[in-house]
Amino acid sequence: LTRRLRPFTSTIFAEITELARSTGSVNLGQGFPDTDGPPGMLRRAEHAIGEGVNQYPPGAGEPELRAAIGAQRRADYGIEHDPGSEILVTVGATEAISASMLALVEPDEEVVLIEPYYDAYPVAVAMAGGAHRSVPLRAERGRFRLDTAALRAAVGPRTRAVVLNSPHNPTGTVFTADELAAIAEICRENDLLAITDEVYEHLLFDGRAHTPLATLPGMAERTLSISSAGKSFSVTGWKIGWVCGPAELVSAVRAAKQFTTFVGGAPFQPAVAHALNEERPWLEELRSGLQRKRDRLTSGLRRAGFDVLPSEGTYFVCADVRPLGYSDGAEFCRALPERIGVAAIPPQVLCDDPEPMRHLARFAFCKRDEVIDEAVERLLELG
Ligand code: PMP
Ligand code: GLN
């Protein structure tokens, strides 16, 4: 293994999922839903296979899907994209992120990450030969807050880009208007690119609305906005993602994507186009159902003795393990499957500096109610 990849040999999601499997645990670790997406979308994929949509799709993605992505962004955010040059379909958001780094980050450049970060980001930066710097979210006064002074301080002469993920995995934080304004200002002042991971753009709770960073003043021309169908339509295994932005940036990402996977997921592309165009009511049900599941798991975790931080979006909630006599969330998560048969993820492993997240465990609530209830039953045994 190369030096640049040596720090990243296994993902925490694979490790905890394997532990959950070998112990027969209820897996609230890896975030994937245990029910299917909209039936009309699933049928559309079956039809596409039956109709022979099984060969290489166009390099930028099926025109029908790019048009649907453009229409969604216009309707939801008032953003206009030329589907011919400003929208690229990728193999999940993951490829959009790694191809963006390969295309735009030089080996001597830096990318600023907000931690805890999705584990693919530092690896994508490292594969491009760049280096990352990170700035923390801190749990303060019952909420995770961005240290904007630390963000400003992390930017140096070699900084090329900032990555923003809102709603944020693993904390469930939705960045505030003030936080977004501060990030945008720092990008403008230092002429940085913004790479925004918006895979949870539809999963916000309590009436919150998603604000893409690209809609802030001076940001459209410097932002690559990334999303995917996995979370919005409960098809994490389909890996249909996309990246939208100014033509010259998207064309650079396309140059890299051409030689990583070229294309992918032909029969799923028309199905996702259908979902974006027609399945808004289903998506609204998903969102309200997830909000109820968040409340169900939150109250269960509180009954089990945890202090629970608010989840404003995504399908994750973080809980403080200290009231249960643990001081370390990673030790807690590694012991939990064996001890009571529940799996969770320690957010500290998604950080360069584990300290601010040391006391937390992340639980996923994108599961059937009976699965959440079974996990809570088992967690009550901890007390
Ligand atoms: N970013 C974040 C924040 C995620 O949580 C995930 C999914 N788990 C991804 C990216 C990956 O998305 P995809 O499966 O579309 O590659
Ligand atoms: N995004 C999901 C999570 O955070 C799954 C990640 C993965 O398995 N790579 O749990």
pLDDT at 57 > cutoff 90: yes
- Of the candidates 82, 154, 84, 71, the one whose C-alpha atom is nearest the C-alpha of residue 117 is 154
Give the length of the chain. 383
Q: State residue 83's pLDDT score.
A: 97
**Claim to verify: residue 97 and residue 56 sit in the same structural domain:** yes
Ligand 1 atom 15, closest CA: 92
Same domain, 26 and 95: no
Render pLDDT for 173-228 as a digit per residue (tens, 0 to 9): 999 999 999 999 999 999 999 999 999 999 999 999 999 999 999 999 999 999 99
Higher pLDDT: 3 or 244? It is 244
Mean pLDDT for 235-257 is: 98
CA of 18 relative to ligand 2 center, distance in Å: 13
Domain membership of residue 12 (yes or no) is yes
Tokens of 292: 């109820």
CATH number for the domain that contains residue 166: 3.40.640.10
Domain final residue, candidates 278, 311, 329: 278
- 177 and 204: one domain? yes
Say whether both 28 and 45 belong to one domain.
Answer: no
pLDDT, mean of residues 124-149: 94
pLDDT of residue 139: 86
Pocket test for ligand 1, best of 69, 91, 231, 233 (most atoms within 8 A of CB): 231
Instruction: Give the closest ligand to the alpha carbon of residue 234.
Output: 1
Q: Are strands 110-115 and 131-140 parallel, antiparallel or unpaired?
A: parallel
The residue out of 278, 305, 334 marking a domain boundary is 278
Closest Cα to atom 2 of ligand 2: 31
The reported pLDDT for the residue numbered 162 is: 98
Closest residue (by CA) to atom 3 of ligand 2?
31
What total of structural domains would you count in the chain? Answer: 2
Structure confidence at residue 24 (pLDDT) = 97
Q: Is residue 293 part of a domain?
A: yes
* Share of residues in the chain with pLDDT > 90 (%): 95
pLDDT score for 383:
78
Number of other residues whose CB lies within 10 A of the CB of residue 228: 28
Confidence of residue 43 (pLDDT cuts 50, 70, 90): very high
Burial of 106 (0-12, 13-18, 19+ CB in 10 A): exposed
Whether residue 364 sits in one domain with residue 240: no
Do 332 and 200 share a structural domain? no
pLDDT at 321: 97
Rounded mean pLDDT of the chain? 97
Task: Say if 328 falls within a structural domain.
Answer: yes
Answer yes or no: do 237 and 120 share one domain: yes
Instruction: Report the amino acid identity of residue 17.
Output: T
382 is written with which tokens? 């901890």
**Are 243 and 305 within one domain?**
no
Asked, for residue 1, whether it belongs to a domain, the answer is no
What pLDDT, on a 0 to 100 scale, did the predictor assign at position 16? 94
| Tens digit of each residue's pLDDT (9 = 90 or more) over 267-291 | 999 999 999 999 999 999 999 999 9
Distance 91 CA to ligand 1 centre (A): 11
Last residue of a domain, one of 278, 293, 317: 278
d(CA 138, CA 147) in angstroms, rounded, equals: 7
Residue 313 DSSP one-character state: B
Q: Which residue's CA lies nearest to atom 1 of ligand 2?
A: 31
Calculate how far, in angstroms, residue 184's C-alpha sits from the geometric centre of ligand 1: 23
State residue 111's pLDDT score.
98
Protein residue closest via CA to atom 7 of ligand 2: 13
pLDDT tens column, 16-33: 999 999 999 999 999 999
| Per-residue pLDDT at 140 | 85
Q: Would you say residue 346 lies in a domain? A: yes
User: Which pLDDT belongs to residue 9?
Assistant: 82
Q: Token pair for residue 336? A: 């939990």
Q: Which domain holds residue 100?
A: 39-278
Residue pair 257/99 in contact (Cβ under 8 Å)? The answer is yes
Is the pLDDT at 10 greater than 90? The verdict is no
Report yes or no on 343 lying in a domain: yes
Residue 309 and residue 226 in one domain: no
pLDDT in tens, 300-312: 999 999 999 999 9
**Does a structural domain hold residue 191?**
yes
Does residue 130 share a domain with residue 54?
yes
Find out whether the beta carbon of 15 lies less than 6 Å from any atom of ligand 2.
Answer: no
- For residues 163 and 29, state if they share a domain: no
Residue 338's domain is classified under what CATH number?
3.90.1150.10
What digits encode the pLDDT tens for the residues 308-333? 999 999 999 999 999 999 999 999 99
Residue 166 · residue 173 · CB < 8 Å: yes
Q: 296 and 188, same structural domain?
A: no
Residue 125 inside a domain? The answer is yes
